[in-house]
Amino acid sequence: MRSTCRFVRRRLASGLVWLGASAMALAGTGGREVPPCRNAWRTVFEESFEGGPLDRTRWLATEGNDLHDRALEIVEVSSPRGPRHALRLMADTRGTDDRTVKSVGVVHREPIDLSGTVEIEFVLDWNRQANGSYLSAGLYLAPGLTDVSPETGSSWLKVEYVGVPPGRNGRCQLAMNHSNRLELLSTEGWPESQKTGRALGRQRVKLILRRGSVEAFENGRRFYASGRPMLPFDRGYLYLQLSSHSNYGPREVRFSDVVVRERCGSPLAHGTPTPEER
């Protein structure tokens, strides 16, 4: 009888732990059920932009300051694996206010829990800009949801590509704003060096956030590691954005293959580490 009671208590305890973990997972994803943790990593959400128009139940359009014209649409693109789809962002700033930077983009409507270990990956196609001067495009994480640029907020983290005058080249930049204090974390040596930039194509970018510390990778190569907690928020929204100064004709970039993964917190979850963790 005693052994039977112990068995029942163990089953009840394991069931309560499972229910608690499930409730936490649902709370961190706006009530949506995330896949079970069958590996060391679990996909929170992914977006390939397949299947027609942008899903407005998942994504909110953003726009900042005056624009002569803009575009935000899903387009078909070629790739080594055949036709695929991407998010096209375009800004035309001819005849607009010289005092402001203009932006067009999207933000995912559900916040991401950043308190543990999270991996965020996306592909940016710089689109062979003939003149990328004062053009930038990339990903932001910010604690607030807005339909304008996340840079209007007091705190954010961004990884972006910036055009280098006179036009064709660019560089990668990682920056953080905390309580309106801007910190440039990685600029490829600019402005002391790398003033000419480099040719940009399809850039695969990955961020790994570990309880506030930040690592950044480009095409599998790590180019930044904070080595300490620094992210000023533990819950953030994911933005994809193109920004441009005034008086430039139509310029566009494309985003694809957006994936957010979290490392499972259960001590029973043992999986193969990512190449960056080996």
What does the pLDDT read at residue 65? 93
How many C-beta atoms surround the C-beta of residue 180 within 10 A? 8
Distance CA 158, CA 80 (A): 28
What does the pLDDT read at residue 39? 67
One domain, residues 128 and 19: no
| pLDDT at 19 exceeding the cut of 50 | no
Distance CA 242, CA 233 (A): 23
Tens of pLDDT, residues 113-130: 999 999 999 999 999 998
What does the pLDDT read at residue 57? 94
Token pair listed for 121: 């990956």
Token pair listed for 112: 């991401």
| pLDDT at 55 exceeding the cut of 70 | yes
One domain, residues 8 and 110: no
| pLDDT at 277 exceeding the cut of 70 | no
Predicted TM-score (pTM) of the model is 0.82
Lowest mean pLDDT among 11-20, 50-59, 77-86: 11-20
> Which residues on neighbouring strands pair with residue 133, listed in sequence order?
none
What does the pLDDT read at residue 267? 34
> Is-contact 79 57, C-beta < 8 A?
no
102 belongs to a structural domain: yes
One domain, residues 25 and 161: no
Computed over every residue of the chain, the mean pLDDT equals 85
What does the pLDDT read at residue 78? 78
Considering all CA atoms of the chain, what is the largest pairwise distance in Å, rounded to the nearest integer?
84
275 belongs to a structural domain: no
Lowest mean pLDDT among 43-52, 137-146, 243-252: 43-52
Confidence band, pLDDT 50/70/90 cuts, at residue 75: very high
| pLDDT at 268 exceeding the cut of 50 | no
Distance CA 231, CA 155 (A): 9
Token pair listed for 126: 């710089």
> pLDDT over 70 for what percent of the chain?
81
Tens of pLDDT, residues 212-251: 999 999 999 999 999 999 999 999 999 999 999 999 999 9
Distance CA 171, CA 173 (A): 7
274 belongs to a structural domain: no
164 belongs to a structural domain: yes
- In the chain, the number of structural domains is 2
What does the pLDDT read at residue 191? 81
Mean pLDDT of 81-96: 92
**Domain CATH code at residue 217:** 2.60.120.200
Q: Is 247 helix (H, G, I), strand (E, B) or coil?
A: coil
What does the pLDDT read at residue 194? 74
Confidence band, pLDDT 50/70/90 cuts, at residue 210: very high
112 belongs to a structural domain: yes
Amino acid at 144: G
Note down the domain range covering 20: 1-33
One domain, residues 70 and 189: yes
What does the pLDDT read at residue 36? 65
